Amino acid sequence: MTALIFDCDGVLADTERYGHLPAFNATFEQFGLPVRWSEQEYGRKLRIGGGKERMASLFDDPAFAAAAGPGDRTEKLVAWHKAKTAAFQQLVADGKIPVRPGIKRIIVGALEAGWTVAVASTSAEESVRAVLANAVGSAAAEIPVFAGDVVPAKKPDPAIYQLTVRNLGLNPAETLVVEDSRNGLLAATRAGLACVVTVNDYTRDEEFGEAVLVVSGLGDPGRPPVEVLANRGAARPGLHLTLDDLRACLGGPA
């Protein structure tokens, strides 16, 4: 059976710029921490998989570690990340995070066609489910989510995709991943899965040589046509991607 596995952040919605970044900064302010990430700084932090891990990197600066005060570092990170997740979910609930074009069309179409659809992400599960529900509405109830700390290592480690394939009993040759970053692409391909990349402003200039297809997005009728940045497979996208285009990407680069 054909299967589609979606990453969440940057794939289902423009969560990084409009959700995670302001949620991190709101959390830093809430706890009186002497840091605010700019868009450029956050772009660099995105090379680190996982929100707690990005926060933990702040302790690499001795001045920050001193300002954070005494106490158990792990406990601090758990408290900060819990607050950050709540701030992020509120942004989703308030409609502040735009869904990426084509997501609802492709996911609903795939489900109607009998495909298996899943989401695999290194973000907190509550955040992922909130984004998914906002993106596809009632169809989210049919979609299994694998997220957060269900695996010991974050992307680019393939563990999250290996877990998804194993738990759903998927055939890797019939499974396609949709990602937006090099870390995500490496996680997918290291799990033996073909991958389509839909870039965003943070990831557009990353290296995606292992991807079957690299596009500006999935696109939708009535919207600007998608830009094909690289095509190493059999798909021949028109103004927007279709299920047939995605099916043609199975098997990996030609």
- What would the two tokens of residue 80 be? 């900060």
Distance CA 196, CA 216 (A): 11
What is the torsion angle, in degrees rounded to the nearest 10, for the CA atoms of residue 183, residue 98, residue 147 and residue 46? 30
- Number of Cβ atoms within 10 Å of the Cβ of 175: 26
- Residues marked as catalytic: 7, 9
Residue pair 7/179 in contact by the 8 Å Cβ criterion: yes
Distance of alpha carbon 11 from alpha carbon 19, whole angstroms? 13
Residue 70: strand, helix, or coil: coil
Q: What's the distance, Cα to Cα, between the start and end of the chain in Å? A: 21
Beta strands in the chain (DSSP E): 3-6, 116-120, 145-146, 175-179, 194-198, 213-215, 228-231
Instruction: Report residue 190: phi and psi, to 5°.
Output: -70, -20
Query: In angstroms, rounded to a whole number, what is the distance separating the alpha carbons of residues 107 and 100?
Result: 12
Strand partners, 145: 119
| Identity of the amino acid at 153 | A
Residue with tokens 């396609």: 176
